[in-house]
Structure 1
Amino acid sequence: MAEDKIKKAELKIAGMTCATCVATIEKSISKQDGIYDVKVNLGNETASVEYDPSRVKLIDINRAVTDAGYNVICEKVTLRIGGMTCAMCVKTIENALNKLDGIVEAHVNLGTEKAFVTYNPTIVAISKMRKAIENVGYHYIGVEGEEAEDLEKKTREHELREKRNRFIVGFIVGIPLMALMYLPVTLPFSKAYFMLIVSSPVFLYVSSPIFRAAYRSLKNKNLNMDVMYSMGIGVAFISSILGTFEFILSKEFLFYETAVMLASFLTFGRYLEARAKGKTSEAIKRLIGLQARTATVIRDKDEIEIAIEDVEINDIIVVKPGEKIPVDGEVIGGASFVDESMITGEPIPSLKKKGDTVVGGTINKNSLIKFRATKIGKDTVLSQIIKLVEEAQGSKPPVQRIADKVVSYFIPAVLSIAALSFIVWYIILDYTLLFALTRFISVLVIACPCALGLATPTAVTVGIGRGADFSILIKNGEALELSEKLSTIVFDKTGTLTKGKPQVTDIIPIGIEERILLSLAASVEKNSQHPLAEAVVKQAKEKNIELEEVENFDTFEGKGVIAKIDGKEILIGNRIFLEDKNILYLKEIEEKVLRLEGEGKTVIHIAINKKICGIIAIADTLKETTKEAIKELKRLKINVVMITGDNKRTADAIARLIGIEDVLARVLPQDKADEVKKFQEKGEVVGFVGDGINDAPALAQADVGIAIGSGTDVAIESGEIILIKDDIMDVASAVQLGKKVMSRIKQNLFWAFAYNAALIPLAAGLFYPLWGITFRPEFAGFAMAMSSVTVVSLSLLLKGYIPPAKRLKEEKRWK
Structure 2
Amino acid sequence: MTLVKGQDALEASGKVTTVVLDKTGTLTLGVPRVVDIHPHGVTAEQLIRLAAGVETSSEHAVAEALRNLAATLVADIPAATDHTVSPGHGISATINGEIIAVGSPAYMDELGVRICPDLTGIVNAATRNGQSTVLVAQGTKAIGAITLADLMKPDAVDAVAALHRLDLQTVLLTGDTSAAAQRVAKSLGITQVRAGVLPTQKVDVIEQLQREGHRVAMVGDGINDAPALAAADLGLGIVTGTHVALKSADIILVRDDLYAIADAITLARATNRTIRTNLIWAFAYNIAAIPIAAAGLLNPLIAAAAMSLSSVFVVHNSLRLQSIRTLRPTERRDD
- 1:787 equivalent to 2:310? Answer yes
Q: Which position in structure 2 is the counterpart of 1:685?
A: 215
Taking the aligned partners of 2:20 and 2:285, their CA distance within structure 1 comes to 42
Question: How do 1:104-123 residues align onto structure 2 when only pairs under 5 Å count?
Answer: none
Equivalent position to 1:660, from 165, 190, 196: 190
Q: Which position in structure 1 is the counterpart of 2:267?
A: 737
Taking the aligned partners of 1:651 and 1:712, their CA distance within structure 2 comes to 24
**Distance apart, 1:581 and its partner CA:** 1.9
Aligned residues between the structures? 334
Contact 2:226 2:245 in 1 (8 A): no
Contact 2:155 2:259 in 1 (8 A): yes
Check 1:627–1:704 CA distance in 2 against 1; reply closer, same or farther (3 A cut). same
Taking the aligned partners of 1:649 and 1:506, their CA distance within structure 2 comes to 20
Equivalent position to 1:725, from 227, 241, 255: 255
Contact 1:515 1:545 in 2 (8 A): no
TM-score in terms of structure 1 length: 0.39
Q: Which position in structure 2 is the counterpart of 1:508?
A: 38
Q: Which position in structure 2 is the counterpart of 1:599?
A: 129
Q: Which position in structure 2 is the counterpart of 1:802?
A: 324
Q: Which position in structure 2 is the counterpart of 1:705?
A: 235
Contact 2:223 2:242 in 1 (8 A): no
Larger CA deviation: 709-718 vs 534-543: 709-718
**Distance apart, 1:627 and its partner CA:** 1.6
Check 1:711–1:550 CA distance in 2 against 1; reply closer, same or farther (3 A cut). closer
Taking the aligned partners of 1:713 and 1:512, their CA distance within structure 2 comes to 41
Amino acid at match of 2:109: E
Aligned to 1:695, the other structure's residue is in SS state helix
Check 1:643–1:712 CA distance in 2 against 1; reply closer, same or farther (3 A cut). closer
- 1:474 equivalent to 2:19? Answer no
Check 1:573–1:707 CA distance in 2 against 1; reply closer, same or farther (3 A cut). same
Amino acid at match of 1:691: D
Taking the aligned partners of 2:82 and 2:242, their CA distance within structure 1 comes to 37
Taking the aligned partners of 1:622 and 1:508, their CA distance within structure 2 comes to 24
Equivalent position to 1:576, from 106, 118, 122: 106
**Distance apart, 1:503 and its partner CA:** 0.5
Amino acid at match of 1:722: I
Larger CA deviation: 700-709 vs 714-723: 714-723
Q: Which position in structure 1 is the counterpart of 2:156?
A: 626
Check 1:803–1:718 CA distance in 2 against 1; reply closer, same or farther (3 A cut). farther
Q: Which position in structure 2 is the counterpart of 1:499?
A: 29
Check 1:712–1:612 CA distance in 2 against 1; reply closer, same or farther (3 A cut). closer
Quote the RMSD (CA, aligned, Å).
Answer: 2.4
Equivalent position to 2:277, from 747, 762, 773: 747
- 1:562 equivalent to 2:92? Answer yes
Q: Which position in structure 2 is the counterpart of 1:669?
A: 199
Taking the aligned partners of 2:329 and 2:224, their CA distance within structure 1 comes to 29
Taking the aligned partners of 1:624 and 1:571, their CA distance within structure 2 comes to 34
Aligned to 2:46, the other structure's residue is in SS state helix
User: Which structure 2 residue ranges, 5 or more long, are not aligned?
Assistant: none
Q: Deviations over 1:725-770 (max 9, x none)?
A: 21221111110011110111122123223333555566678xxxxx
Contact 2:259 2:326 in 1 (8 A): no
**Distance apart, 1:544 and its partner CA:** 4.0
Check 1:679–1:608 CA distance in 2 against 1; reply closer, same or farther (3 A cut). same
Question: How do 1:265-276 residues align onto structure 2 when only pairs under 5 Å count?
Answer: none
Taking the aligned partners of 2:134 and 2:31, their CA distance within structure 1 comes to 16
Question: How do 1:68-83 residues align onto structure 2 when only pairs under 5 Å count?
Answer: none
Q: Deviations over 1:254-294 (max 9, x none)?
A: xxxxxxxxxxxxxxxxxxxxxxxxxxxxxxxxxxxxxxxxx
Taking the aligned partners of 2:161 and 2:244, their CA distance within structure 1 comes to 25
Check 1:778–1:744 CA distance in 2 against 1; reply closer, same or farther (3 A cut). same
- 1:696 equivalent to 2:216? Answer no
Q: Deviations over 1:33-63 (max 9, x none)?
A: xxxxxxxxxxxxxxxxxxxxxxxxxxxxxxx
Check 1:552–1:780 CA distance in 2 against 1; reply closer, same or farther (3 A cut). closer
Contact 1:606 1:614 in 2 (8 A): yes
- 1:811 equivalent to 2:331? Answer yes
Q: Deviations over 1:794-815 (max 9, x none)?
A: 11232x233342xx25531479
TM-score in terms of structure 2 length: 0.91
Aligned to 1:640, the other structure's residue is in SS state strand
Q: Deviations over 1:702-737 (max 9, x none)?
A: 111111122997975231111122122111111001
**Distance apart, 1:477 and its partner CA:** 0.8
